[in-house]
Structure 1
């Protein structure tokens, strides 16, 4: 985890934006059921249509914020993961360039290719 954290701290702005966009998603997941129950309790029982329309407007606004949050969340997550994967690949490649011929024989070319590409890709998917 410390290794990933080291790479993640290079992208603090993206991480902060990602963290904030989670609240947009949580707002929708928790806000809309609350507003609907309020509409049923106060608007439908008293048959107050202006109250229902005002709550519907608030619910529509929360939905737009939530959809924006989810889209931003997906974008930030993909941006962070691809940048971290690129950094890991570059660091592994740079470290492999310092290997001696005996060390390269020990690991093998195919193993080094796998470590440079596939292992970094698995971290990106995580």
Structure 2
């Protein structure tokens, strides 16, 4: 039992050092693509799970160092994110909750509140626009 407790403490320390692991969020990618295709708008918080109050969006290519400096925490990812897509880092009270990437690259870089709305703009060609309703 003591060994299990010591092992748990050591593993927690390793996780903290490496940071939150960057993972692909295919479901969010599909929801954003459908919104882009069908038009309209939706709040990001309605398209994704989890507790968060801010999201930072990074466009490819972006280095791990740049992402970590921007969010103030380690992110477990390759040195360079070169996939045609975006990294979204969700935070709550300044603490990183999760880091995901979506495809394709149809979002705009920035730091946004949980009131972020993704909307389709038709002219001159359909594209997505990010509007932070909180400012």
Q: Which has the higher strand share?
A: 2
Same fold, TM exceeding 0.5?
no
TM-score by length of 2: 0.25
TM-score (norm 1): 0.26
Relative to its length, the structure with more helix (as a share) is 1
